[in-house]
Chains A and B, each alone.
Chain A
Amino acid sequence: MSTLQRRIYRAVISLHPADFRNQFGRDMARDFDDALGQRGFTPLLGDAMLSLARQWKARALTGPELDPVLAQSAPGHPFLAGQYVMVDEGSSLTAFDLASASVLSILLILTIGVAASIPNRHAIADLQSARVSHDGGIDTGHNGPPLAANDSRREHPGVDPLRTAAGLGVGPQHGPAYLVRGFAPPGFGPRATGGPPARPITLAHALVQLTLISIIIWITSFFLRRSPGVTRKAALGALGLLGLAASVAFGQAPVPPTHAQILHATAPLPSFEVATIKPWKPITMPMPVPVQVGMPDSRPAGPPRKIDPMGGGRAAGQRADRVHIIGQAAILLQSAFNLPLDSRNQIVGAPGWVNSETDRYEVQAKIDDSLFAAMRTMTPAQQREQVALMEQSLLADRFKLKVHFETRDLPAFALVVAKGGSKLTPAKEGESPQLSSSSDETTGTAVTLDDFAHSPLLRPDGRIVINQTGLKGAYDFTIKGEPGPDPPSFFTLIEEQLGLKLVPTKTSVEVIVIDSIERPTEN
Chain B
Amino acid sequence: MKPVPHADTDSNSNDLLPLSPATLHVLLALTGGDLHGYGIMLEVARQSGGSYKIGPGTLYDNIKKLLKLGLVEEVPSSDSHSKDTSDSDAEPRRRYRLTKPGSAVLAAETERLTAVLRVARRGLRLHEERQS
Contact = CB atoms under 8 A, between A and B. Distances in A.
Interface of A: 20, 23-24, 26-28, 30-32, 34-35, 39, 43-44, 46-52, 54-55, 63, 65-69, 71-73, 78-82, 84, 411, 503-506
Given A31-B41, A506-B89, 20 more contacts: A23-B64, A27-B37, A31-B59, A43-B55, A46-B55, A47-B56, A47-B57, A48-B55, A51-B56, A51-B57, A67-B1, A72-B16, A73-B18, A78-B20, A79-B16, A80-B20, A80-B61, A81-B20, A82-B61, A504-B90
Given A51-B61, A80-B20, A68 B68 contact: yes
A383 B37 CA distance: 48
B87 A506 contact: yes
Nearest to A29: B56
Interface string B5-16: 100000000011
Interface in B44-67: 53-66
Nearest to B6: A68
B20 A82 contact: yes
B6 to A, nearest CB: 10
Interface of B: 1-2, 4-5, 15-23, 36-38, 41, 53-66, 68-69, 87, 89-91, 93-94
Counting chain A CB atoms within 10 Å of each CB, which of B15, B66, B89, B93 scores highest? Answer: B89
Given A24-B64, A411-B87, A35 B18 contact: no
A50 B87 CA distance: 30
A78 B19 contact: yes
A68 B20 contact: no
Contact of A79 (B2, B20, B63): B20
Given A30-B38, A68-B68, A50 B58 contact: yes
A51 B58 CA distance: 6
A54 B2 contact: no
20 contacts: A23-B64, A28-B60, A31-B41, A39-B53, A46-B55, A47-B58, A50-B57, A51-B55, A51-B57, A51-B58, A51-B61, A52-B57, A66-B65, A68-B69, A73-B18, A79-B23, A80-B19, A80-B22, A81-B22, A506-B87
A272 to B, nearest CB: 41
A98 to B, nearest CB: 15
Given A24-B63, A31-B38, A81-B21, A67 B53 contact: no
A34 B21 CA distance: 23
A51 B20 CA distance: 15
B89 A48 contact: no
A24 B54 CA distance: 15
Given A80-B23, A506-B87, A27 B94 contact: yes
Contact of A505 (B16, B64, B89): B89
A48 B57 CA distance: 5
B91 A48 contact: no
Counting chain A CB atoms within 10 Å of each CB, which of B16, B17, B56 scores highest? Answer: B56
Contacts of B53: 39, 43
Nearest to B36: A27
B60 to A, nearest CB: 4
Counting chain B CB atoms within 10 Å of each CB, which of A54, A72, A80 scores highest? Answer: A80
A20 B60 contact: yes
